[in-house]
Amino acid sequence: MSALAQGKVNLHLGVGDVRPDGYHDLVTVFQAVDLTERVTVTPVAPAPAGGASAAPDASVVEEVTVSGPDAHLVPRDASNLAVRAVDLLVRHWLTHGGVADVPRVAVHIDKGVPVAGGMAGGSADAAAALVATRELLRLVTPPADRDRAPDLDGEVLRTLGAELGADVPFCLLGGTALGTGRGEQLIPLMSRGTAHWALAFDSTGLSTAEVFARLDRLRADAATGVRPDVRAGDPHDLERALLTGDPAALAPTLVNDLQPAAVSMMPGLRRTLLAADEAGALAALVSGSGPTVAMLCRDHAHAVEVATTTAAAGHVGSTTVTASSPHGARLDRGGGWTAPGRVVPPQP
């Protein structure tokens, strides 16, 4: 079974102070984009003797393979979010009365979202893996057992997804949504038209945890008066701008509290943001925890122009264009898909 899920950009990312549990309360507006991850879950061996329930903590994943951009950066072990998603759903299934003879599977991930780029590529893998595994479990359930099989509706998947990561529930939902809590509490937002983006990637990723930790240190400095403590306000103006469908109205509402931390860890992002401005982007900001820079554009042709000009400036690893997407995670019905091409700047 194959399933697809989208990457995202954060149009608004307001970060609260660190909580006692180490997390931060967020107020964020997610927007799915048409960079797509495909995860395929394939049975490769029968269930172990005694049924999968005989070893409920054992992984059912026998092999992980990865293709596409940045494939060499993706872990193939139990830390992979797609692997964790498959095993989490299988354990839930077994615990709540599902069929016991779950086959062992191979997981293949076809990448379309940059790794460690602040665009939820790993979370999209988890979302797609949950959808593909749900379908597989339904198919291997004998007809006589289907009445007692647990319900695996969208709400169940989003609840399980939140155990894997704060962005996973949004990758399941898709579209445009307001996220609160750690980002897992979602309210879909109305959005007119299509937002067009140029994206600038850096060949070096950033750790989300390290970017949040740097933000905490910057705010500690601000408390002593060393630097100003500037924070995102509420997203009401952004929500109103989304209803207009006008990218010029949306541009001044984009904000990311993590951007100063990401820039302090990777100073070259300043050059990318400046290059985006010089290329004529309506607005540019670091996506999530970075280092991807998202550049809002008027339309597709403008996005191509901004991406090409930014790439030619020579400060980025590569650029591409994308657009907002209404899709959440869903089964791949075989309609055909290819990874978007990237514009690679000329090498000296």
Are 290 and 227 in the same domain?
yes
Task: Kindly state the tokens that stand for 115.
Answer: 């790794």
Query: Is 167 noted as a catalytic residue in this protein?
Result: yes
DSSP 3-state assignment of 338? coil
Q: Is residue 51 a known part of a binding site? A: no
Residue 264 has a CB neighbour count (10 Å cut-off) of 15
Domain encompassing residue 87: 2-190
DSSP 3-state assignment of 231? coil
Q: Is residue 53 part of a domain?
A: yes
pLDDT tens digit string along 11-28?
A: 999 999 988 888 899 999
Domain-terminating residue out of 159, 190, 221: 190
Residue 48 pLDDT: 65
Label residue 56 by pLDDT band (50, 70, 90): low
pLDDT tens digit string along 135-151?
A: 999 998 888 888 888 99
Total domains in the fold of the chain: 2
Are 35 and 76 in the same domain?
yes
Entry pTM = 0.91
Mean pLDDT across 283-288:
96
Are 175 and 250 in the same domain?
no
Q: Is residue 345 part of a domain?
A: no
φ and ψ of 72, to 5 deg: -70, -15
Q: Is residue 71 a known part of a binding site? A: no
Are 22 and 167 in the same domain?
yes
CA distance 282 to 277: 8
Check which CATH number belongs to the domain holding 147 and give it.
Answer: 3.30.230.10
Q: Is residue 283 a known part of a binding site? A: no
Q: Is residue 106 a known part of a binding site? A: no
Residue 339 pLDDT: 37
Q: Is residue 117 a known part of a binding site? A: yes
Q: Is residue 344 part of a domain?
A: no
Lowest mean pLDDT, pick from 76-85, 90-99, 248-257: 90-99
Q: Is residue 116 a known part of a binding site? A: yes
Are 150 and 24 in the same domain?
yes
Q: Is residue 114 a known part of a binding site? A: yes
Mean pLDDT across 255-264:
96
Query: Is 8 noted as a catalytic residue in this protein?
Result: yes
CA distance 307 to 295: 8
Are 50 and 91 in the same domain?
yes
Catalytic residue among 167, 202, 257, 332: 167
CA distance 212 to 259: 10
Q: Is residue 74 part of a domain?
A: yes
Residue 97 pLDDT: 84
Q: Is residue 39 part of a domain?
A: yes
What average pLDDT is seen over the chain? 91
Are 180 and 113 in the same domain?
yes
Are 204 and 170 in the same domain?
no
Q: Is residue 336 part of a domain?
A: no
Are 41 and 7 in the same domain?
yes
Q: Is residue 169 part of a domain?
A: yes
DSSP string, 251-305: GGG-EETTHHHHHHH-THHHHHHHHHHHTT-SEEEE-TTSS-EEEEESSHHHHHH
The alpha-carbon radius of gyration of the chain (Å, integer) is 21
Are 165 and 226 in the same domain?
no
DSSP 3-state assignment of 260? helix
Instruction: Kindly state the greatest CA–CA separation across the chain.
Output: 68
Phi-psi region for residue 22, left (φ > 0), alpha (ψ -120 to 50) or beta? left
